[in-house]
Amino acid sequence: MYSEKVMDHFSNPRNVGEIEDADGVGEVGNPVCGDMMTIHIKVDDGKLADIKFKTFGCGAAIATSSMITEMAMGMTIEEALEITRDSVADALDGLPPVKLHCSNLAADGLHAAIEDYLSKKEAGN
Ligand code: FES
C-alpha cells in the first residue's frame, strides 16, 4: 500500500526537531483529521539553511514532512514556495488516495514558516 520511500521516511524521518533561534515558524493543523505539524526554518542569504519539523500525525504525514525538509533544504525561499502537495507526494512515489490529504500538512507547514519569516523581515525584526 505504501511505497518504499514512504516507509523509509516514516521509519527513519530526517530533520526531526526544532531550531531554537528559528527565522520562521509554521504551525498547521489538518482539518480532515486534526493532526498537527510544526516546522522551523533558518534562512541564510535567501536560502533555506536549516529546516526541522515535528509532526503529531499519521505515518504518511510524518513521511511527507521528512521528505519536504530534504527537498527544500538549500532552496531559495521562492523555490521552496513552489513545492506543492502533489510534488511531495510524487517525490515519495505516490501516496494511497485516502492518504493524499496528509501531504497537505507538510506543504502548508513549510509555506507557513516561510510566510512567518517574510512577515518578520518586513517588520524589520
Ligand atoms: Fe492526519 Fe494523515 S491522517 S495527516
| Model pTM score | 0.94
- In tens, the pLDDT along 27-37 reads 999 888 999 99
Which amino acid residue places its CA nearest to atom 3 of ligand 1? 58
* 76 phi, psi to nearest 5 deg: -70, 160
Residues spanned by the domain of 78: 4-120
CATH code, domain carrying 85:
3.90.1010.10
pLDDT digits (tens, 9 = 90+) for 96-125: 999 988 888 999 999 999 999 999 988 885
CA of 36 to the centre of ligand 1 (A): 9
Q: What mean pLDDT is reported for the chain?
A: 95
Ligand 1 neighbours by CB, cut-off 6 Å: 30, 33, 35, 57-58, 60-61, 102, 105
What is the residue with the minimal CA distance to atom 4 of ligand 1?
102
- Quote the cell numbers at residue 111: 509555506
Q: Flag whether 83 is in a domain.
A: yes
Residues 6+ apart with CB under 8 A from 8: none
Q: What is the mean pLDDT of residues 85-94?
A: 94
Write out pLDDT tens, residues 14-23: 999 999 999 9
> Does residue 63 have a pLDDT over 90?
yes
Among residues 11, 18, 32, 33, the one annotated as catalytic is 33
> In this structure, is residue 125 part of a structural domain?
no
CA distance 90 to 79: 17
pLDDT of the residue at 124: 80
Count of the separate structural domains present in the chain: 1
